[in-house]
Chains A and B, each alone.
Chain A
Amino acid sequence: MQGVRVQEAAFDMGVELNRFASHVAGAGAIVSFSGVTRDVASGDLEAMVIEHYPGMTERALTRIHDEAMGRFSLVDAMIVHRFGRLPPGEVIMMVATAAPHRADAFAGAEFLMDFLKSRAPFWKQEITADGREWVAAKSDDEDALKRW
């Protein structure tokens, strides 16, 4: 299993996805999702700073990963999430799932994302010319967990 990784360094999502795909013999479907630092409404994002809780982060991500593996017919799943200071347009994180058929691959990836957003201890702060602001959690994110 390719599991979870938490790192400060940038990564190439193409390289990650190809490596993942080369270790999932028997999978007929591979789905991936990548989150990218997007601009704020005012359009002057200088950077996104991501704080996390070392130890609990890995523990929470592993739990979410294992839960997805058990719940869907996945051949494998992976999660990579960065922390630290990220300029606009950088890849923050990615998940990938591999399954015999696409329904499980899509559902598994959505499950990973829904839980990762509000159950893994990461906090985003936006830095603009006006200052720094912690990103508030959306009630939609919490609501998204109810469908599972």
Chain B
Amino acid sequence: MDLRYFAWLRERIGTGHEVIETEASTVRDLIEELKQRSEAHAFAFSDLGSIRAAVDQDLVEFDAPLTGAREVAFFPPMTGG
């Protein structure tokens, strides 16, 4: 699975892209798994209220299933315009 990180999440994790093997069934499960990867990951995912997720480029809630997902992205609330 391809993971993408943006803005301060990318900076805290130290990369904008990584490829992982996972059996996580929801976005929330995936986050719990990622927090175990490194201290940087744990720090980046410490406040879920300031994180948004997208599965295959569609914004989703944390309980969204990962069945068939190829790309999951994590980022702070968006600030366009």
List residues of chain A with CB under 8 Å of any chain B CB.
35, 50-53, 55-56, 59-60, 81, 92-93, 113, 116-125, 134-137, 142
B8 sits at the interface (CB 8 A): yes
Q: How long is the Cα–Cα vector from A84 to B54 in the complex, in angstroms?
A: 22
Choose the segment among B22-30, B40-48, B71-79 that binds chain A (4+ C-beta atoms closer than 8 Å): B71-79
Beyond A35-B81, A116-B80: 14 further Cβ-contacts under 8 Å?
Answer: A53-B4, A56-B73, A59-B58, A113-B81, A116-B81, A119-B78, A121-B6, A121-B73, A121-B75, A121-B78, A121-B80, A125-B7, A135-B79, A137-B78
Chain A nearest Cβ from B48, distance in angstroms: 15
Of B57, B76, B77, B81, which is within 8 A of A56 by CB?
B57
Q: Give residues of chain B (1-38) contacting chain A, Cβ–Cβ below 8 Å.
A: 4, 6-8
Which B residues are CB-close (under 8 A) to A123?
6-7, 75-76, 78-80
Which B residues are CB-close (under 8 A) to A55?
57
Number of interface residues of B (CB under 8 A): 16
Which A residues are CB-close (under 8 A) to B54?
53, 56, 121
Which A residues are CB-close (under 8 A) to B4?
53
B79 touches A117 (CB 8 A): yes
Q: How long is the Cα–Cα vector from A120 to B75 in the complex, in angstroms?
A: 12
Q: How long is the Cα–Cα vector from A137 to B81 in the complex, in angstroms?
A: 11
Q: How long is the Cα–Cα vector from A120 to B73 in the complex, in angstroms?
A: 13
